[in-house]
Structure 1
Amino acid sequence: MRSSEEADGVEGEAAGASMMSAAGSPYQPTTEPVLPGRRLHLRCDTDYLRSSFGLLKLLQVLLALIAFICIETVKECLPCGGLYLFEFVSCTAFVVTGVLLLMFCLNLHTKVPQINWNLTDLINTILSALLFPIASIVLTAMNHKRSGEIAALVFGYLSSAAYLLNSYLAVRVWRLSDRRPAAVQASEYTRARSESRGEVEGRPEVQRLDE
């Protein structure tokens, strides 16, 4: 009997010691879930490319790129101020508009909500619509009738027309969206008033109390 009791006591002490050692061990298994890594899913938004703004932006990128390539073929200039200005405007418009096209086409603008991408696009469009005609006019007054300069001027004026049209449409959409909340609020206020009147009419006991 004693031997069995002593054996049970030894086993209990061993179990308690193992539990204490497990509790004090720094190498305990963690129960924190392993979070899967975030993946960036890229998907081409064909609806945006088929829209008027998507087509205009794609046209702007192509025209600005061709204008920049044409002006780069000119190897001699004197004076070179008009050429340098046109080169800067066409290159900047191509890069910035191309980046915005990729952001909207691949829905990357939704990943960075801290930036107002619509306002950024509007500012870029308006600036390009102002700078492209200025650069084209200056190059027209200071060119040397070379084929590269003439080709660059043709695509420069076409780019100016594309940016001007995009600016007109963007400002029009912005003005309509700016007016819409007031109309929506007015309609919601009118509907709320009509609903409240309907509730009062549907409750005769309230009318009796008011009378």
Structure 2
Amino acid sequence: MADSERLSAPGCWLACTGFLRTKKGLFLCAEIILCLVVLICFSASTSAYSSLSVIEMIFAAVLFVFYMCDLHSKISFINWPWTDFFRAFIAAILYLITSIVVLVDGKGSFKIAAGVLGIFATLLFGCDAYFTFPLKQQRHTAAPTDPTDGP
């Protein structure tokens, strides 16, 4: 497939829908949507915590595009599994802290909704971090113990 065909609109749509069928694509899409909903709830409540949702939504969208366009295999100086793991792990921790603070403050229905959705975001980012943990993916196979057919 030529580069011009891959970058065309139908090719981009096929790459997007093809990546959305993977587990990583589903996680990143769900993270983007949930960050957008939490951002709307924080913005409606005039809360100062909306920057977390913006930053995490941008990070998830950038990684979505990188994985969808297969750019992660072309840029080899970045360790993508560890980068993705730390992004999701730090997001889970930050969402947990922010959600607890918002729920303890709890003034306004949008803040409470954002806090509850932040707990869901914590779980989503935590699951993403768990499934992308790089050391879990490195499986060692046992060396063959059968005698070789040799002289």
Is the structural similarity TM-score above 0.5?
Answer: yes
Structure 2 residues without counterparts, runs of 5 or longer? none
Shift of 1:40: 9.0
Structure 1 residues without counterparts, runs of 5 or longer? 1-37, 76-82, 201-211
Measured in 2, the distance between the counterparts of 1:147 and 1:167 equals: 30
Question: Given that residues 84 and 132 in structure 2 are in contact (C-alpha distance below 8 angstroms), is that contact kept between their aligned partners in structure 1?
Answer: no
**1:122 maps to what in 2?**
85
Measured on the aligned residues, the alpha-carbon RMSD in Å equals: 2.2
Q: Residue 89 in 1 paired to residue 52 in 2?
A: yes
One-letter amino acid of the structure 2 residue matched with residue 177 of structure 1: Q
Identity over aligned pairs, percent? 26
Q: What is the TM-score with the length of structure 1 in the denominator? A: 0.60
One-letter amino acid of the structure 1 residue matched with residue 72 of structure 2: H
**1:10 maps to what in 2?**
none
CA offset digits 1:159-192 (Å, max 9, x no partner) = 1111111122222xx3343232xx25x23xx46x
Measured in 2, the distance between the counterparts of 1:40 and 1:117 equals: 26
1:158 to 99, 110, 120: 120
Question: Given that residues 45 and 107 in structure 1 are in contact (C-alpha distance below 8 angstroms), is that contact kept between their aligned partners in structure 2?
Answer: no
Q: Residue 62 in 1 paired to residue 33 in 2?
A: yes
1:100 to 31, 38, 63: 63
Measured in 2, the distance between the counterparts of 1:136 and 1:100 equals: 24
Instruction: Kindly report structure 1 stretches of 4+ aligned residues shifted beyond 4 Å.
Output: none
> Structure 1 residues 42-51 or 116-125, which shifts more?
42-51
One-letter amino acid of the structure 2 residue matched with residue 69 of structure 1: I
> Which one has a bigger Cα radius of gyration?
1
Count of aligned positions: 143
**2:105 maps to what in 1?**
142
